[in-house]
Amino acid sequence: DIVMTQSPDSLAVSLGERATISCKSSQSILKSPNNENHLSWYQQKPGQPPKLLIYWTSVRESGVPDRFSGSGSGTEFTLAIDNLQAEDVAVYYCQHEMFGQGTRVEIK
Amino acid sequence: QVQLEQSGAEVKKPGDSVKVSCKASGYSFTSYGFSWVRQAPGQGLEWMGWISANHGRANYPQKFRDRVTMTRDTSTNTVYMELRSLRSDDTAVYYCVRDYSYRRDYWGQGTLVTVSS
């Protein structure tokens, strides 16, 4: 099983600034022949199921603001949230098959 | 619209089994797979496995391989997750999730399973 590890576990960012979350897999998730990385990101707010933000590393789900972006390849991936808004306070998870442990984003 | 309707909350004793259902509607059932994901109180998300709605082939992580079985019924567009030999640390909300190539886009409302003596 491929293990996903996120960092940091939590971070506090000022409104309007950038939040960056790292996700590392225990082995490469690059799939041939299309060189696709099947890495997704989710946002979860209290009392709600997770919401898909990004899939296949960098494709934004329909309706997700473009301040959310994903990048990476192989074993290292990043979720960036530009111009952080109050409604972005949540826990964020990366996922291949298994999920990372989650990163809590708060307002500084 | 896509909907995943899960069965209701369950209370079980240690050693029991639980079977949670998830009825899908609003799309072509056999064109997607399903993952089951659970979340213990105050904890993160835990993937329990995946099943193809088309072929019925399932894939489980090592942690659950001996205790979980996922099945589907194409006549009713329903998937099932059975977890055996329940323990107190299996207390969690269990979600069925539509899963296409690791893209888990629609989530059921969740089913709370409580394991207590």
| pLDDT tens per residue across span A27-39 | 988 877 677 889 9
Check residue A64 and give its pLDDT: 97
Question: Which pLDDT belongs to residue A102?
Answer: 98
Question: Scanning every residue of chain B, which has its alpha carbon at the shortest distance from the alpha carbon of A31?
Answer: B101
Mean pLDDT, residues A3-12:
97
Smallest Cβ–Cβ distance between B47 and the set A44, A97, A101 belongs to A97
Q: Give pLDDT < 50 ranges for chain B.
A: none
pLDDT digits (tens, 9 = 90+) for A61-108: 999 999 999 999 889 999 999 999 999 999 999 999 999 999 999 999
User: Helices in chain A by DSSP H: which ranges?
Assistant: none
At A26, the amino acid letter reads: S
Q: Indicate the residue type of A56.
A: W
Nearest-angstrom CA–CA distance, B110 and B91: 13
The count of CB pairs under 8 A between chains A and B is 55
pLDDT of res. A30: 81
